[in-house]
Amino acid sequence: MKLPPAVWNWSGGYIGGHVGGGYGRTSFSNPYGQSIYGGVVDTPVFLAGGQVGYNWQNSSWVFGLELDASGVVSEGTNTCLAASGFVVSANCKAGPNLFATGTARVGYAFGALGHTLAYLKGGVAWQNNRGDVINNNEYYGSYTQEKTHFDYGRVGSIIGLGVEQALTSAWSVNVEYDYLHFGGPSVATPPTVQNPPFAILPANITSLSSSYHIGKIGLNYHFGADPWVVRWPDAPLYAKAPAGAAPIAYTAGWSFEGGSRLWLSRGRFQWDERSGLRRP
């Protein structure tokens, strides 16, 4: 007797964790003119966090919503805010310490019984970014370097893609790439010096923007399934006969069976009188 396999799909809630890393860049506009140092701070990114979400499956298409949050270790520094060699430059430091996102997902389940899910995601993101703008040697007054500090939260956007593989009915693992982008805000810069001609340039404003390329690997637990079962509950394609069941008796009567067979063989054998071997 042939039985259909047990139905499993991606519908339902899940919770999990992730780790990852990547690369970020924060740009500082220069209020004194185009910076000869570029005004760009590159930041390596390492993160770890958790996610929670819910999926709905219709045929092979899967739709979902997901929230995640990550603690971030990231900091970079670069020389900035010098329009020429006559303006005392600064060191710009920046790095996020927290990401949070809310996204919608759409995916397609494929493979054996739909256990593999490829998906796209997009939505809103939030970061907390912090750092400093610290003047270099200022040639005047106190030897204390002028600096300003910033620590702000900012809403931006996220797009991503990934592949998720169901390991059992309770557990799945995914790999994902995300791109995050944030604009603003405006941050105060410390006063600096121009020489020659000698002049003290007053405090001003720089506008910040940042973007990140992130790769993550995650593990999810799907609600409603036994987390300790390490095999699929899918039914076999064919049912096995119960142990000890009596064989099915043949009914009386005649039967006729016919068939045909086609074979082809070609070859010639010779006898080697010296060695006593037969050669093809």
Cα 132-204-73 angle, rounded to 5 deg: 20
pLDDT band (50, 70, 90) for residue 84: confident
How many residues make up the chain in this entry?
Answer: 280
**What is the DSSP pairing of strand 192-194 with strand 199-201?**
antiparallel
| pLDDT at position 83 | 85
The predicted model gives 110-124 an average pLDDT of 93
- Tokens, residue 91: 């060191």
- pLDDT tops 80 at residue 140: no
**DSSP letter assigned to residue 231:** S
- pLDDT tops 60 at residue 122: yes
The predicted model gives 96-109 an average pLDDT of 97
- Tokens, residue 139: 């040639």
Give the predicted TM-score (pTM) of the model: 0.77
Q: Range with the lowest mean pLDDT among 16-25, 147-156, 259-268?
A: 259-268
What residues contact 96, with CB distance under 8 A and at least 6 apart?
24, 43, 45, 72, 74, 127, 128, 129, 130, 210, 212
- pLDDT tops 50 at residue 3: no
Q: How far apart are alpha carbons 236 and 239 in whole angstroms?
A: 7
The predicted model gives 131-143 an average pLDDT of 72
What residues contact 208, with CB distance under 8 A and at least 6 apart?
26, 27, 28, 29, 94, 129, 150, 184, 185, 186, 187
The predicted model gives 39-53 an average pLDDT of 95
- pLDDT tops 70 at residue 15: yes
Element of type H or E holding 94: strand 90-110
Compute CA distances 254 → 242, 250, 251, 272, whole Å.
Answer: 29, 11, 9, 55
Using one digit for the tens of pLDDT, what is the confidence trace for 233-260? 554 433 344 555 565 555 566 666 777 6
Cα 267-273-275 angle, rounded to 5 deg: 95
The predicted model gives 137-166 an average pLDDT of 83
Using one digit for the tens of pLDDT, what is the confidence trace for 170-229? 999 999 999 999 997 888 888 888 888 888 888 889 999 999 999 999 999 999 888 887
- Tokens, residue 11: 């519908």
The predicted model gives 72-94 an average pLDDT of 90
The predicted model gives 150-168 an average pLDDT of 95
| pLDDT at position 239 | 39
Q: How far apart are alpha carbons 132 and 189 in whole angstroms?
A: 9
> Which range has highest mean pLDDT (5-14, 53-62, 130-139)?
53-62
| pLDDT at position 164 | 97
Q: How far apart are alpha carbons 68 and 75 in whole angstroms?
A: 22
Q: Is 37 helix (H, G, I), strand (E, B) or coil?
A: coil
Output the average pLDDT for the chain: 83
Contact assessment for residue 92 and residue 118, using Cβ atoms and an 8 Å cutoff: no
pLDDT band (50, 70, 90) for residue 4: very low
Using one digit for the tens of pLDDT, what is the confidence trace for 47-62? 999 999 999 999 999 9
Question: Residue 83, by phi and psi: left (phi above 0), alpha (psi -120 to 50) or beta?
Answer: alpha
Q: How large a percentage of the chain has pLDDT more than 90?
A: 52
- Tokens, residue 168: 């059992």
